A and B are shown apart, each in its own frame.
Chain A
Amino acid sequence: MQTPILSMRGITKTFPGVKALQDVNLDVNRGEVHAICGENGAGKSTLMKVLSGVYPHSSFEGEILFEGEPCHFSNITDSEKRGIVIIHQELALSPYLSIAENIYLGNEQASRGWVDWQKTNLEASKLLARVGLSENPATPIQHITVGKQQLVEIAKALSKQVKLLILDEPTAALNDEDSGHLLDLILHLKGQGVTSIIISHKLNEIRRVADAVTIIRDGKTIETLRLEHGISQERIIRGMVGRDLESLYPDRDPQIGEEVLRIEDWSVQHPQDSTRMVVQNATITVRKGEVVGLAGLMGAGRTELAMSVFGRTYGHATSGRVLKNGREINTTTVPHAIENGLAYATEDRKHYGLNLIEDIQRNVSMAGLRKLVKRGWVDRNQETLVAEGYRKSMNIKAPSVAAVVGKLSGGNQQKVVLSKWMFSDPEVLILDEPTRGIDVGAKYEIYSIIATLAAQGKAIIVISSELPELLGICDRIYTLAAGRVTGEVPIEQATQETLMHYMTQEKE
C-alpha cells in the first residue's frame, strides 16, 4: 500500500514578480485519498495545474514522478493519457448536450468519423452505474441537478481510464446530501483502486475521507499528516493559517435594540411555474444590532426570500409587506430598496456581486456612486480615498485599490462586496452565504466584520448552509422548509439537532 503513485519534488513556479510555489513536495500513495488544504491563494490550484499540464513542463522547476516515471507534460491531453484527470470547481459541461455526449466530449465514440450512438449511450450508462447515477444518458445536462452533474464529471473521468483523480473543491456547490453521496463515491472508487487528490475547505469532509492531508501555505508545503499518525482539525487549521485560532468565531456582546425590519406575510411564486410557491406566508423580523440567521436545506427558499424582498429580483406575483421602523417601505426595485436602507450581498459574487474586470475602487463605489457626485460629476479622488479606507479597515489584500477585482482571492473579493454595501450605508444587510468558497482565516475576518457591523447598530440577516456558522455568529435563527418559516430559535436554545429538526419539518 505504501508505494507512491505520484511524487512531486521541489516544485517551484514563478510568475513575474511572484513566487507562487516554492520548493513544494507532495507524495501521494497508490489507492489513497489525499487531501490538500490551504488558504485561497496558497498555491493549491497552481500546484494542481502544474501536475495536470496546464502549465507546461518547461515553465516550472522540479520534477514529477508518476508511477515511478518522470513526466514532461506540455498540456492536459498529455496528463490525461497517463490517467491523471482534474475536475475543476466550475464544472466543464455543456448544458444543452446530453449526459452521454458530455461524457465523451472530445473523446467521441466514433467509427470512421461518424458517432456510434449506440455504443456512446451504452458505455455511458455503464459509467453512470459505476458512479451510482440512475439517469437516462440521453438527458440534457441542464435538466439534472448540480450534484448529479458533478457525478457526470466523475463518470467522464472514469471514461478516460483515470488512475489519479483530482477534485478541486468538489462539494462547494453541493448540499449536504449530495456532498455525502459524492464522498461515498470517492471512497467507493478508492476501493476500485483509483487514487484521489481532493482540494477542500471543509475540514469535516477531509476527516471523513482523507488518508492523508498535505497543508500548503504561501506556496510552500507545511506538512503532510497521515491517518495512522492522526489528523486533527486544530492541527490542520493551525497549519493553514500559521497561528492558533482560539475560536472560529469572534466574541460578541450583542446590544440589541428596537425592531428595524419586518417582512410580513411574504409569498413568492416561482417565476416560470405559477403553481409553485417558493416562499409562503413568511414573516421574519430583525432588530437593531441583531444578527439573524436563515437556515434551511437546498430549495427551502432562503435566497429566493431575500432576493424577492430586495427589489423583486426573484420570483413572480410577490405579495406581503416590508416594514422598516414600523412604516411600510417600497422595495419593488433595487434602487428603491437601496434608498430605503436595504443591502443584499449575493451568494454568487462572481456572477451577481462584482464587476470582475474593474478595479476595487469602482466596485466599492458601485452601489453608492451618487454619494460621490459633486456638481454633477463623480469625484474620483474621493472615490479612491473611500476605497482606500475600506482596503485598510477590511484588510483587503491587494497592492492598491486600482487592482482588478477578478484577480483577488475569494475572501478578498467578498470583502470588496461587503465594502460596496457598507458604503451604501444600509440599515439592514442581508448576507447570502457570506463565507462560501472562502478559507478559514478569511472566514474569521468576515465574521469579525459582521460582528463590528452589528455593534454599529446595523440589523443583519445571514443566510448560510453551514449550521455551525449560524450557531457561531447569530443571535436568533429562523428555519425555513419548502418556503415556509418552520421555526424561530433563540441562540441559547439552538443546536444543530434542533435546527435540523425544524429544517426538515415540512408543514402541510
Chain B
Amino acid sequence: MSALRESLGFLANRLRQVGIFVALILIVLLLQGLTDGILLQPQNVTNLVVQNSYILILAIGMVMVIIAGHIDLSVGSIAGFIGAVAGVMIVHWGWSWWVAIPACLLVGALVGAWQGYWIAYVGIPAFIVTLAGMLIFRGLTLITLKNQQITPFPDELRALGGGFLPDISGGTSVLEWLTVILGVGATAAFLVQEVRQRRIRLKFNLENEPPAWFFTKIGFSALLMLVMTFLLASYRGTPIVLVVLAVLVVGYSAVMANSVFGRHIYALGGNLHAAELSGVKTRGVTFRLFVNMGVLSALAGLIFTARLNSAQPAGGTGFELDAIAAAFIGGAAVQGGIGTVAGAMIGGLIMGVLNNGMSILGLGTDYQQLIKGMVLLLAVAFDIFNKNRSGAGGVGKWFTFRRRTSPSADSRPVAEEKEPVAAAK
C-alpha cells in the first residue's frame, strides 16, 4: 500500500519534470488533428527533421553556453559567414567537399576562439562580445559574398542538407530497410543500455526509480523511436542530417553528463567563484565553450547552405533567437547552472512542430510569431513557477543522458524537500 503510494507520488513528481515532453506530445497531437493528419505523414515528418536540424545543432551549443551562464547572439551571423566561406571555397576556388567541410569547421573554431578570447581572457560579458560578433560576422558575410549569393553547390555537399542514406532494397520495398535496421537497432541498444544501468545501480545498492515508472518510461521511449523509424522508412529513409544530429545529441549529452569538461560547465554556471576555488580553470572552460559553439555554428551554416543550395547574404538571420528559445523552453535556467541537451532538443522540436503545423494550416507569419512568442513566455513562466514552488531544477532535468547510470540519480528529490532538510529531523 505504502509502496504504491510512494510510486504514485514519485510519478506525480516526475510528471511535472517531464512536463515539457508531455507538452510536445500534446502539441503534436493537436496539430495532427487540426491538419487532418498531414503533420505526421511520412513525408512531412522527414521535412520536419531536415528543416529543423540546423536550429537543433545550434541549440546544442547554445544550451551549453547558457548553462555556463553566458549567451551567444552571434551564431546566426557565424552560420551565414561560414555559408559564404563554403561558397567561396567550393564554388569559386573549386575545393572538394572533403577539404572544404573540415576547413569550414576550422574557420568556425577560429571565430569561436576570437569571441572566447574576449569573453574568457579579457572579461567582457558574452552578451556584448557576441552582439558585436553578430554585426562583425554579418558584415564579413556581406564582404565575402560581395552582396551576391553563391550557387550552385556540388551534389556531395547538398547531400548534407537534403540527402538520405542509400536505399539497400533498391527502391522496391514499401519500407526502406536500412532505416528499419538502424531504428530497431538503436531502440534495442537503448533498451539494453537502460536495463544494464539499472542492474548496476541495483548491484551497488544505489538509489533507483520505482520499477513501474522505469518500465513505463523506457517502454514509451522505445515505442516513440519505433514509430519514428516506421514513418521515416515509409518515405525516403534516413536523412543524413538526422544521423549527424543523432551522433551530436548522444555525444554531447554524454559530454555534459559524464565528462570533466561538461561537469565544469555546470559548475561554472552554478557558482563561478566556488568553481574557481575548487580548481576549475574557469577561463579555459569558457574559452573552449565558445570554440565549440563556433564549430557547431559552422556545421549549422554548412547544412543550411547545403539545403538551400546557395550561400546568401542574409543566411542564418535570426537563428540565434530560435536556438536561445529552444534552450529556454527546454528548461535551461537564465542564471545558468541548469539545463540539458535533450531538453533543448525538445524545446527546438516544439518550435519546429509549431512552425511546420501552422504553415500547413496556412497561418501567416503574423500569427506564427505571436503564438511562438507566447509559447516561449509560458514555458519559462511554467518553469519559474515550478522552481518557486519546489526550488528544484528545470523541467528538462529528467532528460539527462546517462552513460552509466539510470536517470534517478539526477532527479532532484523535490516533493519531500520544501524546507531545509534538518527541519525534517
Q: Which residues of A contact B (CB under 8 A)?
A: 15-18, 20, 39-43, 46, 218-219, 310-311, 313, 333-335, 337-338, 344, 346, 351-359, 361-362, 365-367, 369-370, 373, 376-381, 384-385, 388, 397-400, 402-404, 406-409, 411-412, 420, 424
Contact = CB atoms under 8 A, between A and B. Distances in A.
Nearest to B277: A352
20 contacts: A15-B418, A15-B419, A18-B416, A39-B422, A40-B420, A42-B423, A43-B423, A313-B276, A351-B273, A355-B275, A366-B280, A376-B259, A377-B258, A378-B263, A380-B257, A381-B206, A384-B204, A397-B421, A404-B413, A408-B420
A483 to B, nearest CB: 22
Nearest to A354: B274
A381 B274 contact: no
Contacts of B391: 404, 406-407
Contacts of A388: 206
Interface residues of B, number: 52
Contact of A377 (B207, B259, B392): B259
Interface string B218-229: 000000000000
A378 B415 contact: no
Given A351-B274, A381-B206, 19 more contacts: A41-B423, A42-B422, A46-B419, A46-B423, A355-B274, A356-B271, A357-B270, A357-B333, A359-B412, A362-B263, A379-B404, A381-B405, A384-B204, A384-B409, A399-B413, A402-B413, A404-B392, A408-B420, A408-B422
B200 interface: yes
A152 B134 CA distance: 45
A344 B413 contact: no
Interface in B204-251: 204, 206-207
Interface in B24-39: none
Nearest to A365: B263
Interface of B: 200-201, 204, 206-207, 254, 257-260, 263-264, 266-267, 270-271, 273-281, 333, 337-338, 391-393, 402-405, 408-413, 415-425
B273 A41 contact: no
B276 to A, nearest CB: 6
Contacts of A399: 413, 416-417, 421, 424
Contacts of B412: 359, 402, 404
A381 B279 contact: no
A370 B422 contact: no
B423 A408 contact: no
B259 A409 contact: no
Given A16-B415, A380-B258, A380-B405, A369 B263 contact: yes
Contacts of B416: 16-18, 399
B278 A41 contact: no
A357 B413 contact: no
Closest 7 CB pairs of A and B: A41-B422, A355-B270, A15-B418, A409-B422, A367-B278, A366-B278, A338-B279
Contacts of B425: 41, 218, 397
Contacts of B417: 17, 399, 403-404, 407
Contacts of B338: 357
A358 B206 CA distance: 18
A355 B267 contact: yes
Contacts of A351: 271, 273-274
A247 B105 CA distance: 66
Most-contacted residue by chain A among B257, B274, B278, B417 (CB, 10 A): B278
A400 B411 CA distance: 11
Nearest to A356: B271
Given A402-B207, A404-B391, A334 B421 contact: no
B423 A219 contact: yes
Contacts of B201: 381
B275 A366 contact: yes
B418 A402 contact: no
Contacts of B403: 377, 380
Nearest to A378: B258
A333 B207 CA distance: 37
Nearest to B392: A404
Nearest to B389: A16
A338 B267 CA distance: 17
Given A357-B270, A381-B206, A335 B423 contact: no
A52 to B, nearest CB: 17
A357 B260 contact: no
Nearest to B402: A380
Nearest to A439: B422
A304 B15 CA distance: 48
A40 B419 CA distance: 12
A378 B415 CA distance: 28
Contacts of A424: 279
Contacts of B266: 355, 358, 362
B421 A41 contact: yes
Most-contacted residue by chain A among B200, B281, B338, B412 (CB, 10 A): B412
A409 B422 CA distance: 6
B277 A407 contact: no
A42 B393 CA distance: 26
A338 B275 CA distance: 13
A412 B424 CA distance: 13
A334 B278 contact: yes
Nearest to B264: A369
Contacts of B274: 351-355, 366
B415 A17 contact: yes
A378 B260 contact: yes
Nearest to B416: A17
A433 to B, nearest CB: 15
B275 A357 contact: no
Most-contacted residue by chain B among A338, A351, A352 (CB, 10 A): A352
A354 B419 CA distance: 18
A85 to B, nearest CB: 24
B411 A380 contact: no
A381 B424 CA distance: 27
